[in-house]
Amino acid sequence: MGDTLYLYSAILLLALCVVICRTGYMVFGHYFPLPPKLRSALRYAPLAALVAIIVPDVLPWTQQAGPQFDLKFVATGVSLLVFLATRNG
Amino acid sequence: MLDLLTTPTSLSSLREQKRAAFLLGLRAIAPGLVALTIWGIVTGVAMSRSGLTDQTAAAMSLLVYAGSAQLTALPLMAAGAPLWLIFAAGIIVNLRFVIFGAALHPYFKDLSWRKRLVMGYLAVDIAFVAFMPRFHDAPRKGTLEQHWFFLGAVIPSWFLWQITSLIGISLGAVVPDSWSLDFAATLALLALMLPLANTRPIILSVLAAAVMAWVAQTLPLRLGLLAAVVVGILVGMWAETKQNPRGRA
């Protein structure tokens, strides 16, 4: 992993993300009524982002070798079934 | 308890009310604390497995305090992705907190901005899930009971998260490389998102985003992530209008 400055910059930026998203509405909510349309659109962003992180890790492909199936794919499939069966987050 | 409530103006009974509300909040969040424990350990292990030093991992846990954002950022940081992309990914993963904040705001709007800052920062998912169903129909919003219930939910969560993350960080340094525990983070993300995918528009949105993310994964700068989010939002909203033809949920 990269040098210390890079890591701390990334950590501070992430902390800033959290502060903006979690406290923004609490602190400045008086001034920004959220339009219902925007509110419903935002609902889909987090899960879409999560799945977009997961998929390339589980099922990678390259132009040279095509799709790669390995143990990660099997492990994810099994986990998915276990999670769904137990409905345990 | 009852005789204390009959003299609500006295200082000791005020303290008693706060304590009772705090304990109610703690009790409401108790089931979530089990999940939080596992999640904290997994996040700690993932931080240490992806090459963070103990110091940077602890700093990340203390400052960021957001499991999903941390797990999202780790692969990006490991790949040396540009900082703006890490910031953008962090914002996207944390967008749900904007919704939470909008929902919680009426209960805290009369507090000082400093208190609102702290309360907002501590408002993690499980606290929101414990708080909203209980006070959704409350005739008065912003009572002492609500504030202390909230504190009873978020303060233990913060401590438990930091402790379990530290345990995970030290475990990550001990287990051998060959276990490839960084993959645990991917599985933990899966475990986090599955219970949230509970309506048809959200499931369709997730499936569309997954397909887009798979197709677009070779794009540079993880632009496939951005494409997947855009597709996910569009498909989700489309599915919503299909489900409710009059446009109202």
Q: Burial letters for B69-79: b for 16+ Cβ neighbours within 10 Å, e otherwise?
A: bbbbbbbbbee
Q: What is the mean pLDDT of residues B193-217?
A: 88
Q: Are B68 and A47 within 8 A, CB to CB?
A: no
pTM of the predicted model as reported, rounded to 2 decimal places: 0.72
**A1/B102 touch (CB, cutoff 8 Å), yes or no:** no
CA distance B87 to B94: 11
Q: What is the pLDDT of residue A89?
A: 42
| Interface contact flag, A51 B92, Cβ < 8 Å | no
**CA–CA dist B93, A47 (Å, integer):** 8
Q: Provide the β-strand partners of residue A67.
A: A61
Q: CA-CA distance, A38 to A42, in Å (whole number)?
A: 6
pLDDT for B149 beyond 60: yes
Say which residue, B185 or B79, is predicted with more confidence. Answer: B79
pLDDT for residue B223: 75
| Average per-residue pLDDT for chain A | 82
Residue B119 distance to chain A (closest CA, Å): 8
At A3, phi and psi to the nearest 5? -75, 170
Q: ipTM of the predicted structure?
A: 0.76
Looking at the complex, report in whole angstroms how far the Cα of residue B209 sits from the nearest Cα belonging to chain A. 5
pLDDT at position A2: 56
Considering only CB atoms, A52 lies closest to which of B35, B63, B209, namely: B209
Interface test with A, best of B214, B222, B231, B235 (most A CBs within 10 A): B214
The pLDDT of residue A11: 96
Name the residue facing A57 among B73, B75, B235 (closest C-beta).
Answer: B75
How confident is the model at residue B61, as a pLDDT? Answer: 94
According to the model, what pLDDT value does residue B245 have?
Answer: 61
Using the beta-carbon criterion (under 8 Å), do B231 and A48 form an inter-chain contact?
yes
* Per-residue pLDDT, B147: 97
Confidence band of B1 (pLDDT split at 50, 70, 90): very low
Alpha helices in chain B (DSSP H): 2-5, 11-49, 54-64, 67-78, 83-108, 113-122, 125-135, 144-174, 182-193, 200-215, 223-243
Look at residue A23 and tell me whether its pLDDT is greater than 80: yes
* In chain B, % of residues over pLDDT 90: 42
Residues of A in contact with B95 (CB under 8 A): 21, 42, 45-46
